[in-house]
Chains A and B, each alone.
Chain A
Amino acid sequence: EADIYQTPRYLVIGTGKKITLECSQTMGHDKMYWYQQDPGMELHLIHYSYGVNSTEKGDLSSESTVSRIRTEHFPLTLESARPSHTSQYLCASSDVASNEKLFFGSGTQLSVL
């Protein structure tokens, strides 16, 4: 069982609201990632981090932002949610010791009305 946790599991909000999806891991991994997944589609990388104070945008254009102030914590923020943001958001971590195997959280299913 991976020691990586996401909250909330489910979130239903109205358009225009600001939200933060939480992700924490206790494995001491340097690298952390946020992926977006729609049903029947591949995972798309939206943000990643190599370590504290390091964040990069991924392949998928996103209106979200991330921060990495502590090794274990990698929250994702949407300043103004829109219906197009409705999706499953998966947080993951990895390190060299695990041969960069991704450890995923259980995900946050976001619905924007």
Chain B
Amino acid sequence: KNQVEQSPQSLIILEGKNCTLQCNYTVSPFSNLRWYKQDTGRGPVSLTIMTFSENTKSNRRYTATLDADTKQSSLHITASQLSDSASYICVVSDRGSTLGRLYFGRGTQLTVWP
């Protein structure tokens, strides 16, 4: 069973609307959680990182939240644009090694329609 579960699997919204993507994890111990955006045919690009002590972090139109007690994170996209169409991947790092093992979710495929 994957230790990082994302929902929904796919989402279609109209341009200008807001949306929220969810990430639930069971990884323990916990070091940090990152959200990546992956455009079709490209490699993922980091949007934001959340550490244990952080609850909310914003990066332009993206706002990530973290509840370390319930092991849940969300990524809220405000005023969506066509260029937001991509897969959004949640990645959780543990503290089991110096490197920190990474656990990947399967991503949420977001499509923004005009």
The interface of chain A, by Cβ under 8 A from chain B, is 2, 4, 31, 40-45, 48, 50, 90-92, 99-107, 109
Contacts and interface: CB of A to CB of B under 8 A. Distances in A.
B100 A100 contact: yes
Contacts of B42: 104, 106-107
B6 to A, nearest CB: 9
B73 interface: no
Contacts of B46: 101-103
A99 B93 CA distance: 11
Nearest to A41: B106
B76 interface: no
Contact of B99 (A50, A101, A107): A50
Interface in B1-60: 2, 4, 9, 32, 34, 36, 41-46, 49
B43 A90 contact: yes
Given A40-B106, A41-B106, A31 B49 contact: no
A42 B104 contact: yes
A92 B99 contact: no
11 contacts: A4-B43, A42-B106, A43-B104, A44-B104, A90-B43, A99-B32, A100-B93, A100-B100, A101-B46, A102-B44, A107-B41
Given A31-B99, A42-B2, A43-B104, A101 B34 contact: yes
B37 to A, nearest CB: 11
Contact of B49 (A50, A92, A101): A101
A109 B43 CA distance: 11
A99 B49 contact: yes
Given A41-B106, A104-B45, 18 more contacts: A2-B45, A40-B106, A40-B107, A42-B89, A42-B104, A42-B106, A42-B107, A43-B104, A45-B102, A48-B99, A50-B99, A90-B44, A100-B100, A102-B44, A102-B46, A104-B43, A107-B41, A107-B43
